[in-house]
Amino acid sequence: MAEREDAAVERFRTLLRIPTMSRNDVTLTDWAAFDAFIAALPGLYPLVHATLEREQHGHSLLFRWPGDAPTGRPTVLMGHYDVVPATDEGWQHPPFAAEITGTGDGRVLWSRGTLDDKGAVVAVLEAAERLLADGFAPREDVYLSFGHDEETLGSGAQAIVTALRERGVRPALVLDEGGAVVERIFPGVTRPIAVVGVSEKGITSVRLTVEQHGGHASTPPPMTATVRLARAITRLNAKPFPARLTETNLRMVETLGAHASGPLRAVFTRARRLQPLLRSVFGRLSDETRAIVRTTTAVTQLRGSMAANALPESAEAVVNVRIAVGSTVAETLEHLRRAIRDPQVRIEAVDASEPSPVSPSEGPEWERVVAALARTHPRAIVTPYIMLGASDSRHFTTIGDTVYRFTPFEMSTEERGTLHARDERIHVRTWLRGIDFYELMLRSS
């Protein structure tokens, strides 16, 4: 067993060392790294490549594992192998060295992509290779979908969905990255919590633009383009979106509240009757709980003059907006217009995506996830939740009604803080347990 696990870890390290960094400007992407990743897979996973059908959509990969007796209810396990850019600066261990520290069950693997999302992609491949070596064959068709640009455009996943739709494929279950097994994120609950995303917020970048006559900075008008833009940002920040509790929010609170201790237990177990109080509580507990109950805005980019002594003729801000389930892009833009109250500030949505439909948190496909978690994480409380980020799975909601977002790894608060940041890492034991989870999901397909 130890030898098999060590071999799996070494394969993982091999793939982590390939710097598949996706960039918004695709002309800056090193496609040779993506080619190298794809070229490495057959040698690492020979049974997968000998048994499953593989096709390429751009640099994204789709594998089909034919079922023994398919009835038209395939399973899709998916992830993405691109990662956000990283340099060595500020990291305790170089981001693409895949170094291991510690010993035994305390070993930690440091690398960009361990959590987001090569860890899941490679764990799925390990589970499939292991089952093939054991002579296993699924009853239903299984698809493995691995995107190459989830962190930027999501074009690979969209191309795969288009291909599946044209073939009439309608998955019974889609499982992508998203939630995880976490601790101490809910007041009064000490047991681990497996948060399984049944939906995800919408996402759009909103560009705020002010255009006016420029000139020399020595004779500025009372209201320059940058001042007007700053006022718009301040007004927007002062008028947050209203808090709402969706049915998924309420079910999560009820599920976790039943396991809570302390004075808040009485509030959480009466969630439906105490919604105004709960909205207030969630708005104050943390940034994470505040984001759960409302649409959020974050100004992420600013642009003004090209010179220090010239008034800008155009000032621009980009606002990253995460749209709450139950709202829409149109409703969001209307709120921004009312908050800013200035017709000279142009407001336009870029790459807008509506919130995803809500998948059921009951029924046979939900129970497959719950059953696998009961085996790999028996102490965890399983609850539905709305994913705050965006994933490739949102494209699959157009061909399937049961789309879940869950990565079967335990993540501490500190480890979650390394996502898209320095010192991303995973405990080796955690990753190996993730392989077991995917093996159980494949066995139930």
Q: Which residues have C-beta within 8 Å of that of residue 246, sequence separation ≥ 6?
A: 324, 325, 326, 358, 386
Return the pLDDT at 184: 86
Of 179, 200, 210, nearest to 304 (Cα)?
Answer: 210
Return the pLDDT at 219: 92
Return the pLDDT at 420: 94
Which residue in 129, 150, 176, 410 is the catalytic one?
150
Residue scoring higher pLDDT (261 or 53): 53
82 counts as catalytic: yes
Return the pLDDT at 185: 84
Contact 330, 347 (CB under 8 A): no
**Whole-prediction pTM value?**
0.93
Q: What is the pLDDT of residues 148-157, one digit of tens each?
A: 999 998 999 9
Q: Report the range of poorest mean pLDDT among 128-132, 165-169, 244-248, 278-282.
A: 278-282
Q: What is the pLDDT of residues 377-406, one digit of tens each?
A: 999 999 999 999 889 999 999 999 999 999
- The mean per-residue pLDDT over the stretch 194-202 comes to 97
- Distance CA(66)–CA(84), nearest Å, equals 33
200 counts as catalytic: no
- The mean per-residue pLDDT over the stretch 186-203 comes to 94
